[in-house]
Amino acid sequence: MSYAAWVFVWLGLGSSSAMEMQTQPDWAEVFSRFDAQGTMVVLDARNQADTTLVHNPQRAQQRLTPASTFKIPHTLFALDAGLVDDEFQVFVWDGTEHSFAGHNADQDLRSAMRVSAVWVYEGFANALGLARSQQYLRQLDYGNADASSNADTELGAYWVDGNLAISAHEQVAFLQRLYRNALPYAVEHQRLVKDVMVVEADREWILRAKTGWGGSIGWWVGWVEWPTGPVFFALNIDTPNRMDDLAKREQIARAILASLDALPAR
Contacts of 67 (CB under 8 A, 6+ apart): 159, 160, 212, 213, 214, 217, 218, 219
- 35 DSSP 8-state letter: T
Which one-letter amino acid corresponds to residue 98?
H
Is 68 a residue of the active site?
A: yes
H helices within 103-166, ranges in order? 109-115, 118-140, 158-161
Round to whole Å and give the CA distance between 4 and 6. Answer: 5
- 31, exposed or middle or buried, with CB in 10 Å at 0-12, 13-18, 19+? buried
Q: Which one of the listed residues 32, 68, 99, 259 is annotated catalytic? A: 68
How many Å is the maximal CA-CA distance in the chain? 56
Distance CA 136, CA 128 (A): 10
Which backbone phi and psi does 181 adopt, to 5 degrees?
55, 35
Hey, which bits of the chain come out as E strands? Answer: 20-23, 38-44, 51-55, 198-201, 206-213, 217-226, 229-238
DSSP state of 85: -
- 178 by DSSP, 3-state: which? helix
231 bridge partner residues? 44, 224
Q: Which residues are catalytic?
A: 68
